[in-house]
Amino acid sequence: MTQPSATDTPASAGRFERLMQTCMDSRIGRFVLRWRRFLPVASFALGLGSYFLVQRQNALAQWLTVLMLVGWIALLFEGLLHRWLARWMGERLPILAVRFATQALHQETLFFVLPFFIASTTWSSPQCLFTLLIIAAAVASAVDPLYYDGIAARRSLFFGYHAFTLFVALLAAGPIIGSMTTGTTIAIASVVTAGCALPSFNDVIRTRHWSRWLLMAALSVALAGTAWGVRFWIPPATLSAKRMVVTTQMDTQNRQPGADQTRFAPQALAANGLYVFSAIKAPRGLKQQIFHVWSHNGEVVDRIPLDIVGGTRERGYRAWSHKTALGADPSGHWQVAAVTDDGQLIGAERFVVGDTPPSIAQRVAELISRLRGLIGGG
Tens of pLDDT, residue by residue over 200-212, are 565 555 556 667 6
Rounded to two decimals, the pTM is 0.75
Give exposure, 139-166, as e/b (b: 16+ Cβ within 10 Å).
Answer: ebbbebeebbbbbbeebeebbbbbbbbb
SS3 288: strand
Determine the pLDDT at residue 5: 43
Specify whether the CB–CB gap between 257 and 320 falls below 8 A.
Answer: yes
Determine the pLDDT at residue 313: 74
| Among candidate residues 241, 239, 342, 243, the one with its CA nearest the CA of residue 282 | 239
Instruction: Compute the C-alpha angle 348/352/355, nearest 5°.
Output: 170
Could you tell me which residues are beta bridge partners of residue 347?
A: 338
Backbone angles phi, psi at 240, to 5 degrees: -145, 140
Determine the pLDDT at residue 2: 41
Determine the pLDDT at residue 365: 62
Determine the pLDDT at residue 12: 43
Could you tell me which residues are beta bridge partners of residue 305?
A: 291
Tell me whether residue 247 is exposed, middle or buried, using C-beta atoms within 10 angstroms of its C-beta: 0 to 12, 13 to 18, 19 or more. Answer: middle
User: What amino acid is encoded at 41 in this protein?
Assistant: V
Determine the pLDDT at residue 368: 61
User: What amino acid is encoded at 152 in this protein?
Assistant: A
User: What amino acid is encoded at 321 in this protein?
Assistant: S
Which regions of the chain are under pLDDT 50? 1-13, 24-25, 28-29, 375-378
- Alpha helices per DSSP H over 239-377: 360-375
Tens of pLDDT, residue by residue over 1-18, are 444 444 444 444 455 555
Specify whether the CB–CB gap between 299 and 264 falls below 8 A.
Answer: no
- Alpha helices per DSSP H over the chain: 15-23, 27-35, 39-53, 59-76, 78-89, 95-120, 127-142, 144-145, 155-178, 182-196, 198-204, 211-229, 360-375
Give exposure, 78-105, as e/b (b: 16+ Cβ within 10 Å).
Answer: eeebbeeebeeeeeebbbbbbbbebbbb
Determine the pLDDT at residue 3: 43
Cα separations in angstroms, 316 against 170, 282, 283, 313, 377: 22, 7, 10, 5, 11
CA distance 114 to 132: 10
Determine the pLDDT at residue 303: 95
Determine the pLDDT at residue 51: 58
Specify whether the CB–CB gap between 275 and 320 falls below 8 A.
Answer: yes
CA distance 123 to 130: 10
Determine the pLDDT at residue 100: 75
CA distance 94 to 106: 19
Could you tell me which residues are beta bridge partners of residue 241?
A: 280
Backbone angles phi, psi at 291, to 5 degrees: -130, 145
CA distance 108 to 112: 6
Domains of the chain: 6-233 (no CATH), 240-375 (2.60.40.1930)
Angle, helix 39-53 to helix 127-142, in steps of 10 degrees: 140
Specify whether the CB–CB gap between 94 and 29 falls below 8 A.
Answer: yes
Cα separation of the two ends of the chain: 64
